[in-house]
Amino acid sequence: MRLLLSAFALRTWGERIKAALPAGELAVVTAEEAFAADAACDADIAFMTREVTGSSSKNNPTPELVGFDAVVRRAPGLRWLQIHPAGAERPIYRELRARGVKVTTASGATAVTVSHSVLGALIAINRRFPLLADAQRRHAWEPRLGERSPRDLAGQCAAIVGMGPIGRNIARLLKTLGLRTIGVRRSAEPVPACDRTIAYGELTSVLPQVDWLILCCPASPLTRGIANAAAFAALPKGAHLINVSRGEIAVEQDVIAALASGHLAGAYLDVFEREPLDRASPLWDMPNVLISPHTASHSLGQNEAIFGIFLDNLARFRTGQKLRNDVDDLG
């Protein structure tokens, strides 16, 4: 077998990868060497790690990502690509799958960190931390009393759109705070951490009771634009939006309008239709919005978790077993 990976990944994990296989069974080529050679690459396995994508966005890929893509495109014998994201929406992944290449994701590796980001943002918004931080910067003593006090989280309702590892972990955490949870997925098959589970097509029917609309689903024809003006209008006034999925799941202008009108009381947004978010976007200056630069999943331990999935799949690949997180199985 011949493995393609970055020079950084080779330095970081090369010895552990080779130790996981019988001696002499695996040869390695770095993406940098293969790109410089400007010729066909003979790798049959490729591992795309986080530093390859680096600060790339869907609109602005880094040179490292462009180079890696070029190499896998000219690897005619490539049979399997392991990627570090949980989602596989980039066009090149569809292109490779059409060639018969197995593409596997790191779904599950980021479930804990993303759900912690969601939990932290939800509590911060509910407890008015952004307003408190603003008052602190102004040296202003502004207690929020009476009807201006935060609502108790216990008894509120969260609709969690997407019931993969991230959505399930979010539901589990919110249950510990006393929230009611509605899971939204392809089918209405029950999910243990949810009080109720519905299909995507039923979302509108439950929105009038939802205080927190949480988006953590993959981008697909079923989910693109699912959070739009009609959906926000169906939510009760004072509801909140959290998006840690993909920017195209929510219609950004509709999000801005709902926040500006006060119908949405607040939002935590980690993803956007165009990234980086335009410096002129009104979202930056909205006091009821928390923004992170597509980093809800980031943690120091994340790369090791992704590497663990790759090692597991490497063992499966060499013995002909079903690969974990195969995009073809995820739909």
- For residue 221, what are the contacts with CB-CB under 8 A and spacing of at least 6? none
Q: Do the bridges between strand 180-185 and strand 157-161 make them parallel or antiparallel, or are there none, so unpaired?
A: parallel
73 a catalytic residue: no
Beta strands in the chain (DSSP E): 2-5, 27-30, 45-48, 80-83, 102-104, 157-161, 180-185, 196-199, 212-215, 239-243, 264-269, 289-291
Distance of CA 280 to the CA centre of its chain: 24
- Look up tokens 């949405």; give the residue: 264
What six digits make up the tokens of 319?
Answer: 């013995």
Contacts of 271 (CB under 8 A, 6+ apart): 243, 244, 245, 246, 247, 249, 294
Domains identified in the chain and CATH numbers: 2-109+299-330 (3.40.50.720), 111-291 (3.40.50.720)
Q: Which one of the listed residues 246, 298, 316, 318 is annotated catalytic?
A: 246
pLDDT band (50, 70, 90) for residue 58: confident
Q: How confident is the model at residue 244 (pLDDT cuts 50, 70, 90)?
A: very high
Position 147 confidence tier, pLDDT thresholds 50, 70, 90? confident
Task: Choose among 51, 117, 158: nearest CA to 292.
Answer: 117
Cα(232)–Cα(258) distance, rounded to whole angstroms?
Answer: 7
Active-site residue flag, 246: yes
Catalytic residue among 16, 186, 294, 324: 294
Mean pLDDT over the full length of the chain = 96
- As a whole number of angstroms, the distance between CA 192 and CA 172 comes to 9
Cα dihedral 121/127/128/130 (nearest 10):
-40
What are the two backbone dihedrals, phi and then psi, of residue 239, each rounded to the nearest 5 degrees?
-75, 175
- The pTM (predicted TM-score) of the whole model is 0.94
Is residue 150 very low, low, confident or very high in pLDDT (cuts 50, 70, 90)? very high
